[in-house]
Chain A
């Protein structure tokens, strides 16, 4: 069934029902329905993921949320005022779509408007409805905008054209894709404009020190945008993103320390390390809480009570840890550390070392080749009886390699780099699994308490399962490395990042 064709215009002025009727009465019998007023609060996550996907999540009243895709209603669900995650909603399409789009992010109010819709119908001499329309008044604060929508019904094109002609003197500009989004763009232009990580424009010939400083300050700014969300405990992604930014920044400074004055590195590195260290515990607790289902599935039902006790403990610790971190992030010490790092990194380049002046593209390529060869050699020395520490070192080096690629991706050949990243990600999954099991065992060991027998039994069960998985994943590490370090991979790396530049064309 073809949807009715609808066009919308901004009206030049507010329009009374009587004015509308008198304009259209020349061609139709006009039926104007009573106006319907809706107070809408639009919700989105911090990254404006819903806005980006053309989705509008509106609170229509205290107990209900409605999700729209463009102009279509995806669904309406019961949702108490405190609901802020997809898992707070009843099963159905709305929940599924939010899960897909915002994941672990919380949705929160981003804008409010009052919509006053006045539908009308135009009838012909046979009393048949031949066109429908709607006056929409959108009110944000003291500002009102008026729109007129006209729907052409199937088989009644001429009538719609006639109505449009009669209405013409009242109409201002066309509003394509009219809907809530179009109204918000007009009246709340800042909606949906989340501060994304600033795109750093790197040029191949940029001196390395300048490039590093530009990227580093961008990373600090990005990290800082997440601080308020951590303090308010809006969702766990704020802390995760903050940590990713800080980790990348530390990696950048460590990998390219020779491009910066030594005293800058000495000032910034320990501060960043201190900041990162203070966030680790809360992240570990978050990860454990988010994986509850995963842990529940590991144990037989007989351990459910013990596991519940453990979760109570973890929840308590999280509460304390969250408050502690919030206090720290609001403290003078943190503010000073961050502002010192920013001012240190945003200084004008000093160009004290030969590397600092070199064009960034060449430096990046040479670092990538060097890092690849280093990991290749470390991996060659790994065998079945090697220390776990060796695996961890290799994992960290791979992470640095991945970060290096991501930092300079715009200066690298697209297709070859994309292929390499794909292989790299696969390998990192295996290395990451091994690391995760080690971290989880460490984390859980810290909760053992002989006074809580059931909880300790559950912990022992979990640790035993994780230990077996750790051994299994350790067995897979050498094979995964062998799959990665092939002759072809060495050639691909050489072609992508080598001095021959043959990779440029592909």
Chain B
């Protein structure tokens, strides 16, 4: 079983759309996939129309595997289950701060799924926190959407530095360009500069697209309502490249 975390310190870079569409294509390719929505805003749960149970079970998230299992919900798609986010997930950091060996908590928890699933995709909240440290330890791939702008470049560099300072394996970081506007010269030049400087950038890029924005309206992955679009094609290619190189 492999774990991919869709992660960025910055919000609004396309993490959730990536997590949702990747999970969908992984399941379509026959991988038994579990999407865990760790972001209390619950956007990826929303895209799959999955609601959490009303109980504040987030308090037990890191303590009881059985509780976690109970909260798994089938998506509308074969091979794809979802653990929806709950508002109580916003307290993850204070929960983790009380726990010993907190960095390993998530990893140990996810181990329980290794017989049931081939792939776990984590949709992560945008922060650097105890939770993200737990995520970095638990994941095989930290997939980072990067908008090709100077500010995003800076944020990405901060993440790399954080990994170096805390001795997380750098090879886990797999960045790709997200929300790309090919007509913008800034985007073009940033992409060229960054991918020259950092060879780890994936070849697949995801464009800025109104089709992706419409996911909220359709409450579904792009493939379901905009199959023959560049946006959908970009997620398919992203999945192909990740599965080929990293799974």
Residues of A participating in the B interface, judged by any CB pair closer than 8 Å: 1-2, 4, 126-129, 153-156
Contact = CB atoms under 8 A, between A and B. Distances in A.
B50 A2 contact: no
A226 to B, nearest CB: 44
Nearest to B52: A155
A154 B219 CA distance: 20
Given A1-B81, A1-B116, A1-B117, A126 B74 contact: no
Contact of A156 (B34, B73, B79, B219): B73
Most chain B beta carbons < 10 A, residue from A4, A128, A155, A156? A155
Interface centre among B34, B74, B81, B116 (most CB of A within 10 A): B74
Interface residues of B, number: 16
Interface in B94-121: 116-117
Contacts of A154: 72-74, 81
Given A128-B49, A128-B50, A155-B72, 12 more contacts: A1-B34, A1-B79, A1-B116, A126-B51, A126-B219, A128-B48, A153-B74, A154-B74, A155-B50, A155-B73, A155-B74, A156-B74
Nearest to B117: A1
Contacts of B34: 1
B71 interface: yes
B32 interface: yes
Contacts of A129: 76
Contacts of B71: 155
Interface of B: 32, 34, 48-51, 71-74, 76, 79, 81, 116-117, 219
A126 to B, nearest CB: 5
A4 B74 contact: yes
Nearest to B46: A126
A153 B48 CA distance: 14
A153 B73 CA distance: 8
A1 B32 contact: yes
Nearest to A127: B49
Given A1-B117, A155-B71, A127 B219 contact: yes
A156 B219 CA distance: 19
Q: Is the interface of B mostly helix, strand, loop or mixed?
A: loop
A462 B150 CA distance: 80
Nearest to A4: B74
Contacts of A126: 49, 51, 219
| 10 nearest A-B residue pairs (beta carbon) | A155-B73, A128-B49, A153-B74, A1-B32, A154-B74, A129-B76, A126-B49, A1-B116, A154-B72, A127-B49
B219 A2 contact: no
A128 B76 contact: yes
Nearest to B77: A129
A390 B185 CA distance: 97
A129 to B, nearest CB: 4
Contacts of A153: 73-74
B112 to A, nearest CB: 13
Interface centre among A4, A126, A127, A128 (most CB of B within 10 A): A128
B75 to A, nearest CB: 8
A127 B48 CA distance: 10
Nearest to A130: B74
A2 B34 CA distance: 12
Contacts of A128: 48-51, 76
A154 B68 CA distance: 13
A128 B34 CA distance: 17
B85 to A, nearest CB: 14
18 contacts: A1-B32, A1-B81, A1-B116, A1-B117, A126-B51, A126-B219, A127-B49, A128-B48, A128-B50, A128-B51, A153-B74, A154-B72, A154-B73, A154-B81, A155-B72, A155-B73, A155-B74, A156-B73
Contacts of A4: 74
A254 to B, nearest CB: 59
A154 B74 CA distance: 5
A271 B219 CA distance: 81
Contacts of B81: 1, 154
Contacts of A1: 32, 34, 79, 81, 116-117
A214 B32 CA distance: 58
A154 B77 CA distance: 12
Contacts of A156: 73-74
Contacts of A155: 50, 71-74
Contacts of B116: 1-2
A1 B35 CA distance: 12
A18 B209 CA distance: 41
A121 to B, nearest CB: 8
A156 B49 CA distance: 13
Nearest to B33: A1
B118 to A, nearest CB: 9
A1 B31 CA distance: 10
Nearest to B48: A128
B72 to A, nearest CB: 6
A4 B81 CA distance: 11
B79 to A, nearest CB: 7
A127 B46 CA distance: 11
Nearest to B51: A126
Nearest to A126: B49
B18 to A, nearest CB: 22
Contacts of B79: 1
Nearest to A124: B49
A130 B196 CA distance: 48
B170 to A, nearest CB: 32
A127 B49 CA distance: 7
A153 B81 CA distance: 10
Nearest to B113: A1
A335 B49 CA distance: 73
B161 to A, nearest CB: 38
A126 B218 CA distance: 11
A128 B72 CA distance: 15
Contacts of B50: 128, 155
A127 B74 CA distance: 14
B104 to A, nearest CB: 25
A153 B76 CA distance: 9
B98 to A, nearest CB: 29
B218 to A, nearest CB: 10
Contacts of B48: 128
B67 to A, nearest CB: 13
Contacts of B72: 154-155
